[in-house]
Structure 1
Amino acid sequence: MSNIGYHLLLSIFWLIISYYSSYYEVYRYSKGIEIFGKLLKQFFFISLITFAYVGYKYKYVTTDEVGFYIFSSFILVGLLKYSIFFTLKKYRILYGGNHRNVIIIGNGKSVDELKDFFTTNPDYGYNLSHIFDLKKEKKKEILDSKNFVIQNKVDEIYISINTLTHREINSFIHFADNNLKTIKFLPDSKNTFLRNLAVEYYGYIPIIALRTIPLDKEVNKRIKRFFDVVFSLIIIIIILSWLTPLIALLIKLESRGPIFFKQKRNGLNYEEFYCFKFRSMHLNPIADLEQVQKNDPRITKIGKFIRKTSIDELPQFFNVLLGDMSVVGPRPHMVSHTEMYAKSVDKFMVRHFIKPGITGLAQTNGFRGEVETEKDIINRVKYDIFYLENWSLLLDIKIIIATIINAIKGEKKAY
């Protein structure tokens, strides 16, 4: 592909596409999977342009040749982009270069978490110069912090909204603007979980929405649904078609009762549905009331195995086909527990803005199975809210891969 016209056209479209896809918006805090998503988006449109140009201009160039050209370009550009990204990370760790001097103003849990982030992630290149906690002489510390910014060439100021008054915050914004400093804010104590705020305009009136949910967009709903249906059909045809009779036989040989266990769960918009599983317990009257615990006498021998390997969850792919669940999403709880947590756990109901999943971000981060402490359910909700506010198809794929790896390795709370 040495045609000058093609490369000129490609260069123009590359710049236009990269502007709208934010291809070059890779920051020190960006994740590897985000970069991969930008690469896929960029090359999807570049592929369309290439095939269109070749189809119009050349008659004897085969699809395989064009495909190889695009694939090899994708690999080379990806290697270059990732090389720069990871080289900068190493450079920051080994030589302390490409860093940003930062200070934190305020106190509280969010300040402590940000301090830990800066100190435990040197590859991001943030040099935490000082923390002004404003606990003693507030006015003096505020003045000292501004002087410190000027004298020590601080690049970024992080402020805890909870610690300052509205007037003091405005004063810092004015100071930062007039001294060419970046200012960022930590959410206040009421925002226990990070909000993904969005600004919408009603005419010329700015309206702030508390969070954006990508799956509220129709195009994202259709993409996720298409993926769910295709993935579920693959699992049902390739795995469940032969595994179900085998598991059914083993369940029947050990204990009386049905092969499948169905239980009411709360799903999208808090609506109830029946969640399917392979039966892993002896028939008992408290199956809908008490979670399974370690060494639970209700669990059968085959049940112990299918729970450990997560095989008992596989019938939920039928729930996905029916539209009650998604492959990835917040795990649904039994109705009695949902009612309990809704009253005691802040933001718990937010999980029901999207469909529940067979697996989820919380489960791949160690919060699956029995809820032993309040911390377990709080962290589960925290991950679920992060997922619904930051959904992408790539994130779903990443969670699925992590789930498969965890199932093979075996999980501590898989009982």
Structure 2
Amino acid sequence: MSILKILATYRFSRYFKLGFLVWDLVLLNTSIVVSFLFVYGNFEKVDVKGSKALSLLANIFWISLLLYKDSFRIVRTERIEAILYRTIRILMIHSAVIALFIVVLDYGEISRLRMVYFYSTFFILLMIFRILFMKLLKYVRSRGFNFRKVVIVGANPMGERMNRILSKDLTYGYRVMGFFDDESNETELKAPVLGKFEDVENYLSSNQIDEMYVALHINQIEVINKLTALCERYMVRIRYIPDFQQYTKTNRVEVVFYGNGNIPVLMLRKEPLEINFNRIVKQIFDFCFSLLVIVLVFSWLFPILIFLIKINSRGPVFFVQERSGRDNKAFPCFKFRTMYVNHNADSLQATKNDSRITKVGAFLRRTSMDELPQFLNVLLGNMSVVGPRPHMLSHTEQYSELINNFLVRQYTKPGITGWAQVNGFRGETNQLSDMVGRVEHDIWYLENWSFLLDLKIVYLTVVSVFRGDENAY
């Protein structure tokens, strides 16, 4: 029997946690062995004071962190970046605690270099395993195995939206069987209507269903209660889709519990950068990355660009303009001057074949090198490497009147590059829809930030610079 057939016959999701735990311990202890070989070439110093005790502590604390932080949680629609970021965060906590133990227990004979090798090896092995595992899982699910059968109660826009999400990618591992509703318009649905509310029990009793999603309004509480009882009777896991649209038009909300978890409170959106730890990580990355760029690139590239700008046209080398920053506070944004000096620079956006753009300026814009001075803004603290692009004050005022949620993008620091830019929303905004798309991507970034997402955006930005962007002018 092939592996895929075995996966089709049995359900292994309940054993993932145990499997992850055992495999992580294998990787951890492999890293311990490798670190010894890297530093000493043999195991003669395995009995160094505290070495065995520290290895035991490393195992115990890693187990504790994984179980406490629920690192094995696998949400089928979760991005791999989120899984990797969660693992990196736990690894950082683990290294900090182990370092504390070394100091407190006075394990002075423990080689610091060996600890560097240990964590470097462990980090690489963990990342490789997590990525390979997710790709394997996606492949298995794309072949039709390890899937969950789902029904949706509520053939309405909310139910159809959930259907599209679950059916969007076969690798999510969901198979939507259909809808149940007393009233429905089948022409608008992408899955069949299996029956009315009264038909649910008969369907559950004769079919193996794993999950039920209930997309009904709260005024149908009697139906919801009956569905809950049926799911418990037939061992079907029930998921409720609250109708938050009665409170807000946004699709991203967060429920937090106050008073020892007794009172649920609905928050408009989740903002990872409101967490102090995340904000510190982003600030450290901004500072280190900007400092590297300034030391390694500015030192030789700036004199060349300054010379080219000066001989190409009269005027200052830098163009400084007031832009909208975090909390909509204005700040001076630095750029290389790419236009002839003109009176419309603060109000008129650059257009394709704009006569104001110099020959050197066209090259700088095409390669995005005109934005390089903004790394100084990052060091000054009024910009980030990655974030929503800062707009002219006049544009902020204009579009905040036209787009209701436009100012939401100002909740975080503006960036040199951003999620909207690497997805094609850069340059001139000819139509309102262009700005709407940019705002939607900026808000998505705000709600889904992770350190790995920032690295991904930086990578995509570098790739686009070398490939060229038709919107860069």
TM-score w.r.t. the length of structure 2 is 0.77
**1:280-316 deviation line (CA, Å, top 9, x unaligned):** 1222332222322222222221111111111011111
> Does the CA contact (< 8 Å) of 1:158 and 1:186 recur in 2?
no
Q: Which residue of 2 aligns with 1:27?
A: 75
Name the residue aligned to 2:268: 210
Aligned counterpart, 1:362: 420
Counterpart in the other structure of 1:37 = 85
The worse-fitting range, judged by mean Cα deviation, of 350-359 and 117-126 is: 117-126
* Deviation string, structure 1 residues 337-386 (Cα, Å, up to 9, x no partner): 21121111131111111111111111122211222333322222222222
Query: Which residue does the alignment assign to 2:12?
Result: none
Moved more, 231-240 or 303-312: 231-240
Do structure 1's residue 70 and structure 2's residue 127 form an aligned pair?
no
**2:251 aligned partner:** 194
Gaps of 5+ in 1: none
Cα–Cα, structure 1 residues 363 and 104, in superposed 2: closer, same or farther, change >3 Å?
farther
The one-letter amino acid of 1:14's match is W
CA gap 1:166/1:316 in 2 versus in 1, 3 angstroms: farther
Separation in structure 2 between the aligned mates of residue 34 and residue 146 of structure 1, nearest angstrom? 37
Match of 1:158 among 203, 206, 213: 213
Cα distance in 1 between the residues matched to 2:296 and 2:253? 39
**1:264 touches 1:275 (CA, 8 Å); kept in 2?**
yes
Residue of 390, 393, 414 corresponding to 2:451: 393
Check 1:93–1:223 CA distance in 2 against 1; reply closer, same or farther (3 A cut).
Answer: closer
> What residue in structure 1 maps to residue 152 of structure 2?
104
SS in 2 for 1:130: strand
Q: CA separation in 2, counterparts of 1:408 and 1:187?
A: 45
What is the CA distance between 1:412 and its match in structure 2?
2.3
Q: Deviation of residue 236 (structure 1)?
A: 2.0
Among candidates 282, 286, 297, match of residue 228 of structure 1: 286
Q: Which runs of 5+ in 2 are unaligned?
A: 1-31, 33-45, 187-192
15, 21, 27: which one pairs with 2:63? 15
Amino acid at match of 2:253: N
In structure 2, the partner of 1:240 is 298
Counterpart of 1:92?
141
AA partner of residue 280 (structure 1)? T
Distance 1:408 1:104, change over 3 A: farther
The answer to whether 1:292 aligns with 2:350 is yes
Q: 1:155 to 1:228 in 2, by over 3 A?
A: same
> Are 2:131 and 1:82 equivalent residues in the alignment?
yes
Q: 1:354 to 1:76 in 2, by over 3 A?
A: closer
TM-aligned CA deviation for residue 7 of structure 1: 4.8
Equivalent residue of 1:362, what SS? helix
How many residue pairs align between the two structures? 414
- C-alpha change, 1:376 and 1:20, in structure 2 (3 Å) is farther
SS of aligned partner of 1:370: coil
Question: Once the 2 structures are TM-superposed, how far is the Cα of residue 327 of structure 1 from its aligned partner?
Answer: 1.5
Q: Deviations over 1:155-186 (max 9, x none)?
A: 22334467975665565555545554231427
Task: Please state how far the C-alpha of 1:121 moved relative to its aligned partner.
Answer: 0.9
1:182 matched to 2:238? The reply is yes
C-alpha RMSD over aligned residues:
3.1
**Which whole-Å deviations, capped at 9, do the CAs of 1:45-79 have from their partners, x for residues lacking one?**
33345555667486654222333233333333443
- Name the CA shift for 1:99/1:247 in 2 (closer, same or farther; >3 Å): same
**Cα distance in structure 1, aligned partners of 2:115 and 2:101:** 11
User: Residue deviations 1:30-49, cap 9 Å, x none?
Assistant: 22222222332232233345
Secondary structure at 1:23 match in 2: coil
Change (3 A) 1:304 1:111: farther
2-side partners of 1:213 and 1:354: how far apart?
Answer: 9
More divergent stretch after superposition (184-193 vs 362-371): 184-193
Partner residue of 2:14? Answer: none
Q: 1:270 aligns with which of 315, 324, 328?
A: 328
CA distance in 2, matches of 1:371, 1:110: 31
Q: CA deviation at 1:189?
A: 5.0
Partner of 1:122: 170
- CA gap of 1:143–1:406, structure 2 versus 1, over 3 A, is farther
CA distance in 1, matches of 2:157, 2:347: 35
The structure with the largest alpha-carbon Rg is: 2
Q: Using the alignment, how far apart are the partners of 2:217 and 2:296 within structure 1? A: 54
Q: Distance in 1 between matches of 2:89 and 2:352?
A: 45
Partner of 2:345: helix, strand, or coil?
coil
Contact 1:157 1:181 in 2 (8 A): yes
C-alpha spacing 1:256/1:167, structure 2 compared with 1 (3 Å):
farther
Aligned residues of 1:160 and 1:188 also touching (Cα < 8 A): no
Q: 1:296 to 1:103 in 2, by over 3 A?
A: farther
Which residue of structure 2 aligns with residue 340 of structure 1? 398
What amino acid does structure 2 have at the position aligned with 1:71?
Answer: S
Amino acid at match of 1:15: I
Residue deviations 1:220-264 (CA, integer Å, cap 9, x gap) = 333322322222222222222332222222122222222111222
